[in-house]
Structure 1
Amino acid sequence: MRKVLVLLFISLCPMLAAYAQAPVSAPIQSEQTPQVKYLISLMTQRLAVAPLVAQSKWNSGAAINDPAREQAILADVQKQARAIDLDPRFAAAFFQAQFDAGKQIQSQLHQKWRQQKQAPFAPAPDLAKEVRPVLDQLTPQLLMAIKAVQADLCQPEVKHALQTATFGQMDNEVSKMAVSTLQCP
Structure 2
Amino acid sequence: MLHSPRLPKLLTCALIGLLTGGAHASTPSPAPDSLQPLLVTLNERLNIGDLVALTKWDSGKPIQDSAREAQVIANARKMAVERKLDPQEVAELIAAQIEANKLVQYGLLAQWHAAGKAPETPRPDLAKQIRPQLDELQNRLLQQYAEFAPFRNDPNCQDWLGKVRASLIKDGLHGQALIRATGELCTNAQ
Runs of 4+ in 1 over 2 A off after TM superposition: 119-123, 156-159, 170-173
- TM-score (normalised: structure 1): 0.78
Distance 1:58 1:31, change over 3 A: same
Give me the whole-angstrom Cα distance separating, in 1, the residues matched to 2:113 and 2:76: 34
Deviations 1:103-157 (A, max 9, x none): 0011010000001111585642210011111111111111111111112112233
2:182 paired residue number: 179
SS of match in other structure, 1:31: coil
Alignment length (residue pairs) = 158
Amino acid aligned to 1:95: I
Q: Is there any run of 5+ residues in structure 2 with no aligned partner, and where?
A: 1-26
2:58 paired residue number: 59
1:78 paired residue number: 77
Q: Is there any run of 5+ residues in structure 1 with no aligned partner, and where?
A: 1-26
SS of match in other structure, 1:183: coil
1:37 paired residue number: 36
CA contact (8 A) 2:93 2:185 kept: yes
CA contact (8 A) 1:58 1:120 kept: no
Give me the whole-angstrom Cα distance separating, in 2, the residues matched to 1:49 and 1:124: 11
- Identity across matched positions, percent: 31
Larger radius of gyration: 2
1:107 matches 2:82: no
1:47 matches 2:49: no
Q: What is the Cα deviation at residue 160 of structure 1?
A: 1.1
- TM-score (normalised: structure 2): 0.76
